[in-house]
Amino acid sequence: MPDFQSIEIPGGMERVVDRALADRTSRGEVLRRGAIVVGALSGWGLVSAETAFAASGAQPKPIPGGLDQNFNPVPNNPFVHVLPPAVGFEMATITDFRGVLAAAEIQGTAKGSDGSRYTFDADMRFMRGRYVGRDGRRRWGSFGFI
């Protein structure tokens, strides 16, 4: 979903990753963070279904590739399991997938109901089709990258 900010970043994602690494240092620590996120979400009605979904083994697996600490695309062991939303890159974020997808990075402006104004940058994607869940079973599903 939209990131709100007012100016463009010199250095881009590379700088973000550098700061994250300096802050937390290890990919393993970053991945363990996910458990905190799920816990944080579980108190919300609609997302608690997502938590149950994850626990069921029906959750898809991430793509093996992604971006490394220097913002370079790598086919394995990335810092984050995502690549740019552009034709030519792997735009899906789930693996063992066969289906349709759409992806886009969109920039624009937004306004708050209090009169405030912002710029936004939104990376939005979906994947719909057959996939193999973490439990090894073939399934059909629709997933949003939000």
Partner 1 sequence: MGDPNTQVHDFEPGIKPSGLFWTMRIGHDAVEVDDDLDQAQMHRRHLPMPDYHDIINAVSSSPKTRPGHVSFDVRWRGDEHARKRIRNATFGFEGEYRPSVAQIRFRVSNDDSDVVYTSSPDSQKTVSGGIGHERNGVFFS
Q: How far is the CB of 142 from partner 1 (least distance, A)?
A: 5
The rounded radius of gyration (Å) of the Cα atoms in the chain is 17
Site string for partner 1, 44-73 (x = CB under 8 A): xxxx--x--xx----xxxxxxxx------x
Of the candidate residues 70, 72, 130, 137, the single one contacting partner 1 (CB under 8 A): 130
Residue 68 CB, nearest distance to partner 1 (Å)?
A: 13
Q: Could you tell me how far CA 25 lies from the centroid of its own chain?
A: 20
Dihedral sign, CA of 110, 85, 104, 50? negative
As beta bridge partners, residue 56 has none
Least distance to partner 1, CB of residue 132, Å? 6
Total binding residues for partner 1 by CB under 8 A?
102
Residues 71-110 that bind partner 1 (CB under 8 A): 73, 75, 80-110
Residues 6+ apart with CB under 8 A from 15: 9
Task: Give the strand pairing for 66-67 and 117-132.
Answer: unpaired
Q: Which is nearer to partner 1, 3 or 70 (CB)?
A: 3
Query: Does 134 sit near partner 1 (CB under 8 A)?
Result: yes
Binding residues for partner 1 restricted to 109-128, rule: CB under 8 A: 109-114, 116, 118-124, 126-128
Q: State the Cα–Cα distance between residues 68 and 76, nearest whole angstrom.
A: 9
Residue 133 interacting with partner 1 (CB under 8 A): no
Write down the residue that tokens 């990376």 correspond to.
123
